[in-house]
Amino acid sequence: MIRSDGKTWPPNYFAKRWNRVRQRLLQLLAREVEIVDGKLRYRFQCESLLEFKRCMKFFIKEPGTIEWIRTEVHPGDIFYDIGANIGIYTIFAAYHTGESGKVFAFEPHSPSFTKLLQNIALNKLQNIIIPCNFALHDEHGYFPFNYSSSEAGSSDSQLSSVRGAFDAQYRPDITELKHAVSIDSLLASKKFSAPHHVKIDVDGNEYLILRGMSKLLQSIERPRSIQVEVIKRNDADILSFMESHNYVLSEKHYTRGPSRRIAQGDDPADYHYNGIFRPVS
């Protein structure tokens, strides 16, 4: 910063000391976390408390998601992780598709995407996971992507909105012009394989993404299962849309916190849930 008297603040001495302290703090924070699941080991590079918490909640935050991937994703399958964040479920799915399958990981939040790349490399899954740093939508074009936080591992950043998943408006940290495209357009390009399973968790834009895969849902290549985070304001639209495309809501599961409160007597309708949809046979 330049002061009105023309001098720089802080002085170079303090700036250099602060940079050394900052780098040391980052080194101390950076930890390689290894999650053991029987014979499988998942590794993540964590440089913040937020990333560390995400990794530590690997198997406990969304047990329904873990069980769905564990039981239904098989070697050779194509898995779409839409809203991949730093790659927790991306990497878990990749171990189940194996090298004969593929995981397409979509994450428009650039700091989280950078961390996603690091975690893919750390687990040596570059031949299975295809990372994609753009947004999915029901339209093709460029849209404002509003960062609720620029920290890797954060959530609630929004495409074309400043309204979070819980309906609260926020002032973006920064807004980026982000390219967005529909899944139907991706498949029409012949550069992407049709998915057997799709996970959509994007804090509010789920309905628009589903609309952008309308052709896929009516094709012979339609997914065997789709897990969607269903929030209250989109609940009726999502259920109606999926029913009109011959998909039925076969399972509901909640994250750990809401599950506990529902067990204590809270109304399930007060909480978001992950819904697993399957085609009507």
Per-residue pLDDT of the chain (281 residues; tens, 9 = 90+): 544 555 555 556 666 676 666 555 555 556 788 999 888 999 999 888 889 888 888 999 999 999 999 999 999 999 999 999 999 999 999 999 999 999 999 999 999 999 999 999 999 999 999 999 999 999 999 999 999 888 998 888 888 777 766 667 778 888 999 999 999 999 999 999 999 999 999 988 999 999 999 999 999 999 999 999 998 888 999 999 999 999 999 999 998 888 999 999 999 888 899 999 999 97
Is 0.95 topped by the overall pTM? no
Under 8 Å between Cβ of 162 and 169? yes
> Which CATH topology does 57-279 take?
Rossmann fold (3.40.50)
Per DSSP, 235 falls in state H
Alpha helices in the chain (DSSP H): 12-29, 49-56, 63-72, 88-97, 110-122, 183-188, 206-211, 214-217, 235-244, 256-263
User: What is residue 26's predicted lDDT score, i.e. its pLDDT?
Assistant: 53
Under 8 Å between Cβ of 101 and 220? no
User: What is residue 158's predicted lDDT score, i.e. its pLDDT?
Assistant: 84
Six token digits for residue 281: 């046979």
User: What is residue 11's predicted lDDT score, i.e. its pLDDT?
Assistant: 58
Q: Which of 197, 238, 216 is nearest to 93 (CA)?
A: 197
How far, in whole angstroms, is CA 176 from its chain's centroid? 18
